[in-house]
Protein backbone atom coordinates (compact mmCIF):
# COMPACT_ATOMS: atom_id res chain seq x y z
CA UNK A 1 0.00 0.00 0.00
CA UNK A 2 2.80 2.40 0.90
CA UNK A 3 4.52 1.73 -2.43
CA UNK A 4 1.27 2.53 -4.24
CA UNK A 5 0.94 5.84 -2.40
CA UNK A 6 4.53 6.78 -3.20
CA UNK A 7 3.97 5.94 -6.86
CA UNK A 8 0.78 8.02 -6.97
CA UNK A 9 2.51 10.91 -5.23
CA UNK A 10 5.46 10.94 -7.62
CA UNK A 11 3.11 10.70 -10.61
CA UNK A 12 1.06 13.62 -9.32
CA UNK A 13 4.15 15.71 -8.71
CA UNK A 14 5.38 15.04 -12.24
CA UNK A 15 1.98 15.83 -13.71
CA UNK A 16 1.48 18.91 -11.54
CA UNK A 17 4.26 20.71 -13.46
CA UNK A 18 6.26 21.53 -10.33
CA UNK A 19 4.63 24.89 -9.60
CA UNK A 20 4.46 24.36 -5.85
CA UNK A 21 8.00 22.97 -5.84
CA UNK A 22 9.29 25.99 -7.75
CA UNK A 23 7.56 28.44 -5.40
CA UNK A 24 8.76 26.54 -2.33
CA UNK A 25 12.37 26.47 -3.48
CA UNK A 26 12.39 30.16 -4.37
CA UNK A 27 10.74 31.29 -1.13
CA UNK A 28 12.31 28.71 1.20
CA UNK A 29 8.94 27.37 2.34
CA UNK A 30 8.15 23.65 2.66
CA UNK A 31 6.23 22.45 -0.38
CA UNK A 32 3.46 20.81 1.63
CA UNK A 33 2.48 24.18 3.12
CA UNK A 34 2.20 25.72 -0.31
CA UNK A 35 0.05 22.83 -1.54
CA UNK A 36 -2.19 23.14 1.52
CA UNK A 37 -2.43 26.88 0.92
CA UNK A 38 -3.63 26.29 -2.66
CA UNK A 39 -6.17 23.68 -1.54
CA UNK A 40 -7.62 25.75 1.30
CA UNK A 41 -7.65 28.92 -0.76
CA UNK A 42 -9.44 27.07 -3.56
CA UNK A 43 -12.17 26.01 -1.17
CA UNK A 44 -12.53 29.49 0.28
CA UNK A 45 -12.58 31.35 -3.03
CA UNK A 46 -14.46 28.79 -5.15
CA UNK A 47 -11.50 27.72 -7.25
CA UNK A 48 -10.02 31.03 -8.39
CA UNK A 49 -6.45 30.03 -7.31
CA UNK A 50 -6.65 27.37 -10.00
CA UNK A 51 -6.45 30.19 -12.55
CA UNK A 52 -3.31 31.48 -10.84
CA UNK A 53 -1.91 27.93 -10.84
CA UNK A 54 -2.61 27.55 -14.58
CA UNK A 55 -0.90 30.87 -15.29
CA UNK A 56 2.13 29.76 -13.29
CA UNK A 57 2.25 26.51 -15.29
CA UNK A 58 2.24 28.54 -18.49
CA UNK A 59 4.98 30.90 -17.30
CA UNK A 60 7.20 28.09 -16.01
CA UNK A 61 6.84 26.18 -19.27
CA UNK A 62 7.82 29.27 -21.25
CA UNK A 63 10.81 29.83 -18.97
CA UNK A 64 11.92 26.20 -19.44
CA UNK A 65 11.46 26.48 -23.22
CA UNK A 66 13.60 29.64 -23.37
CA UNK A 67 16.28 28.05 -21.20
CA UNK A 68 16.40 24.97 -23.43
CA UNK A 69 16.53 27.02 -26.62
CA UNK A 70 19.45 29.06 -25.27
CA UNK A 71 21.33 25.84 -24.53
CA UNK A 72 20.64 24.60 -28.06
CA UNK A 73 21.96 27.81 -29.60
CA UNK A 74 25.06 27.79 -27.43
CA UNK A 75 25.93 24.30 -28.70
CA UNK A 76 25.98 25.53 -32.29
Per residue in 13-59, pLDDT (tens digit) is: 665 667 888 888 889 999 888 888 888 888 888 878 888 888 888 88
Which residues 6+ apart lie within 8 Å of 14 measured at CB? none
- Checking if the pLDDT of 66 tops 90, the result is no
Q: Between the CA atoms of 27, 64, 35 and 44, what dihedral angle is there, to the nearest 10 degrees?
A: 100
Nearby residues of 5 by Cβ (< 8 Å), 6 or more positions away: none
Quick one: which H or E segment has residue 20? helix 19-27
Confidence at residue 23, expressed as pLDDT on a 0 to 100 scale: 85
Q: Which of 50, 53, 48 is nearest to 21 (CA)?
A: 53
Q: How confident is the model at residue 15, as a pLDDT? A: 59
**Domain boundaries of the chain, sorted by first residue:** 2-75
The model's confidence at residue 12, banded by pLDDT at 50, 70 and 90, is low
Q: Give the pLDDT of residue 28.
A: 93
Amino acid sequence: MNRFLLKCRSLFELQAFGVCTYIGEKMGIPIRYIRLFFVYLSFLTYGSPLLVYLCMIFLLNIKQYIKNSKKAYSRL
